[in-house]
Amino acid sequence: MRVRASAPGKVILFGEHSVVYRGPAVVLAIDRRVEVSAEPRNDTKICITTPDIGISGYYEGQRYYPVSGGETGSQHLRPILAACRSVMDLLQIESGLDLRVNSDLPMAVGLGSSAALSVAVVAALDAVWDGKLSVERIVELSMPSERIVHGTPSGIDNTIAAFGGGLVYELPRRVERLPDLDEVPLVLGNTGVRRSTGKLVAWVKNFKERNSSVEKVIDAIAYVAEQGRDALLEADMKRVGELMSMNHGLLWALGVSTPDLDRLVSSSLRAGAYGAKLTGAGGGGCMVAVSTKARQAAVSKAIERSGGYPLSVKTSKKGLLVQKEP
């Protein structure tokens, strides 16, 4: 039996980095997704194909055999293997698997592609072997994979990938699902610069250890995020935008913005966005602007004129989707 599972990417509107230190963060699922198709094999090979990045190969035990993309392809496939193993160990499965990954989410730019992938893999394998994992348990089992990619992730990306919609996430266990929000008019701008979330989180940790003011900046981000949640629930987009721009300033103070991100944020504001900020870990990757529907095209053009790559995305209610094929 073959299973297809897919999970969405996300955009963080408020609270990244602060969420690692137990501040609240507001996150929305977007309509770009990672899809995984999985089918059991009669042998013990775990075969993984990722046509989007041209890497495929198989594992027998811990040993990797490349098919395309060379030996180093294993670096990209190891997190996928970890997601497989967490389900297979739990369900005590010994047989092999064919796994194929397709994605319309750009990687390593703050849109949660690795989390969406690990959540989709866990859910697909659970369905292949008729497990009955809850959504919460799927999130938990996807975390070892995310740790390989990001070091010490807060879990926000995996949680939104599983649930979809919008939520406030706060460690240790607040997952406040936001009621059906009207579609939030977003414009995303990609700097085209890939970066590592793990390195940026480590940078902030180091900065915090050597400068006690950093803790105050992190607290201010948490405060702004809670206000942002309220403004979003009141559908007060002007205020949402104002708070997002404040959040950007605070992320700049944390040292995770870049001249490219600042430029895209400024040009979005000049083009009439209500507010804009970097989204995700920073250091490159994406920014997000909120505007009226009427200004979206102008904001998008301004991002392009400033050297960014506008991405058209919509917020999405859909979380994890699993479909069994006979």
Report the alpha-carbon distance of residue 80 to residue 97 in Å, rounded: 12
**x/- site string to ligand PMV, residues 178 to 197, per CB under 6 A?**
-------------------x
Of the two residues 131 and 198, which places its CB atom closer to ligand PMV in the complex? 198
236 is catalytic: no
Strand-pairing partners, residue 255, are none
Is position 170 an interface residue for ligand PMV (rule: CB under 6 A)? Answer: no
Is position 165 an interface residue for ligand PMV (rule: CB under 6 A)? Answer: no
Report the alpha-carbon distance of residue 204 to residue 206 in Å, rounded: 5
Of the two residues 64 and 252, which places its CB atom closer to ligand PMV in the complex? 252
Rounded to a whole number of angstroms, the minimum distance from the CB of residue 43 to ligand PMV is 35
Closest by alpha carbon to 222, among 11, 7, 15?
15
Interface with ligand PMV in residues 208-267 (CB under 6 A)? none
Size of the site for ligand PMV (CB under 6 A): 16
Beta-strand runs (E) in 16-110? 25-40, 46-50, 55-60, 63-68, 97-103
Report the alpha-carbon distance of residue 157 to residue 20 in Å, rounded: 12
Which segment (48-56, 130-138, 147-155, 225-233) binds ligand PMV by CB under 6 A? 147-155
Rounded to a whole number of angstroms, the minimum distance from the CB of residue 169 to ligand PMV is 8
Which segment (78-86, 152-160, 263-271, 289-297) binds ligand PMV by CB under 6 A? 152-160
Report the alpha-carbon distance of residue 29 to residue 17 in Å, rounded: 18
Burial of 33 (C-beta count, 10 Å sphere; 0-12/13-18/19+): buried
Is position 11 an interface residue for ligand PMV (rule: CB under 6 A)? Answer: no
Q: Say which of 31, 104, 157, 180 is annotated catalytic.
A: 157
Name which position in 86, 103, 154, 158 contacts ligand PMV (CB under 6 A).
154
Burial of 54 (C-beta count, 10 Å sphere; 0-12/13-18/19+): exposed
Interface with ligand PMV in residues 18-47 (CB under 6 A)? 19-20
Of the two residues 32 and 150, which places its CB atom closer to ligand PMV in the complex? 150
Closest by alpha carbon to 248, among 233, 230, 265, 227?
265
Encoding tokens for residue 275?
């507010």
Beta-strand relationship, 286-290 and 186-190: antiparallel
Rounded to a whole number of angstroms, the minimum distance from the CB of residue 188 to ligand PMV is 12
Q: Return the active site residues.
A: 157
Footprint of ligand PMV (CB under 6 A): 12, 16-17, 19-20, 110, 112, 150, 153-154, 156-157, 197, 201, 280-281
